[in-house]
Amino acid sequence: MRNRTVAANWKMNMPPKETKEFLDKLLPEIRETDLNLIICAPFVSIQTVVDCLKGTKIHVGAQNMYFEDRGAYTGEISPVMLKEIGVSHVILGHSERRKYFGETNEIVNKKIIKALEHGLVPMACCGESLKIRGDGLAKQYIHRQIMEMLQGVRKEDVSKCIFSYEPIWAIGTGIGATKEQAEEGCMEIRRCIESMYGSETSNNVTVLYGGSVNSSNAHTIFPIQDIDGGLLGTAGLSMDFARVVKIREEYK
């Protein structure tokens, strides 16, 4: 379903103690909103986030998971474990996981299918490097990522997913994509989903933009029809998150 969304990807930040201190400050600023808010914390801080968010409608997300329920997979975390402690969303296929941990579309595909099997909402990420953009291949690249990540995913499950266009060159740089670039990437996600599942599905999925979103540029991104919200890295670690939420509320 299409939802106005603001999500935070804390990455490898916010140990449990800091998490509690931060959420104590942040929560009064965001708890009344009717937006779809998701806080994606590192595994060891998830329980603290769950406790702090009790009684609110804010969702708790993880940043990764493995594609098996249990077994001899040293160091991995399964969807069963995430569900049990109150996680509802999981970021999958973030470019940092692809770059540093060798995740491929095939692996992400397995994870998406497994997350859906357990009723977790996959937040599937895609986005091109500067080189691919420079070569004029950004759209084809996004298209292929989405196609491969969604192999074997049923139509009724696709609309449960959230997709995020995160051009690698815009992540952590402070220089976000322009309005046109963000729109183009998000539209390409919808176009690919349309070619696989039809326009009703593609019009109904939530598509976010991520890459240096903050309260200074959110006004240019959120009015765009094809973009339902933002996935915030850096700005999700400060009170700027609350300012971005307020800006998202301004646009229907």
| Nearer residue to ligand 13P within complex by CB, 33 or 234 | 234
| 233 in contact with ligand 13P (CB under 6 A) | yes
By the rule CB under 6 A, 213 interacts with ligand 13P = yes
Question: Pick from 5, 9, 36, 202: which binds ligand 13P (CB under 6 A)?
Answer: 9
Asked whether 36 and 59 are in contact (CB, 8 A), the reply is yes
CA distance 2 to 174: 27
- For residue 58, state whether it binds ligand 13P (rule: CB under 6 A): no
**Which one is catalytic: 128, 166, 183, 188?**
166
Alpha helices in 64-223 (DSSP H): 79-84, 95-101, 105-117, 130-134, 138-149, 155-158, 179-197, 199-204, 218-221
Q: How far is the CB of 182 from ligand 13P (least distance, A)?
A: 12
94 annotated active-site:
yes
Does the annotation mark 166 as catalytic? Answer: yes
Q: Which of 94, 128, 183, 188 is catalytic?
A: 94
Q: In the window 108-147, what residues touch ligand 13P (CB under 6 A)?
A: none
To the nearest 10 degrees (0 to 180), the angle between helices 179-197 and 138-149 is 40
Instruction: By CB under 6 A, name the one of 15, 172, 198, 223 that touches ligand 13P.
Output: 172
The residues facing 131 across adjacent strands are: none
3-state SS, residue 143: helix
Q: What three-state secondary structure class fits 39? A: strand
- For ligand 13P, the binding residues (CB under 6 A) are 9, 94, 166, 171-172, 210-213, 231-235
Q: Which residues are catalytic?
A: 94, 166
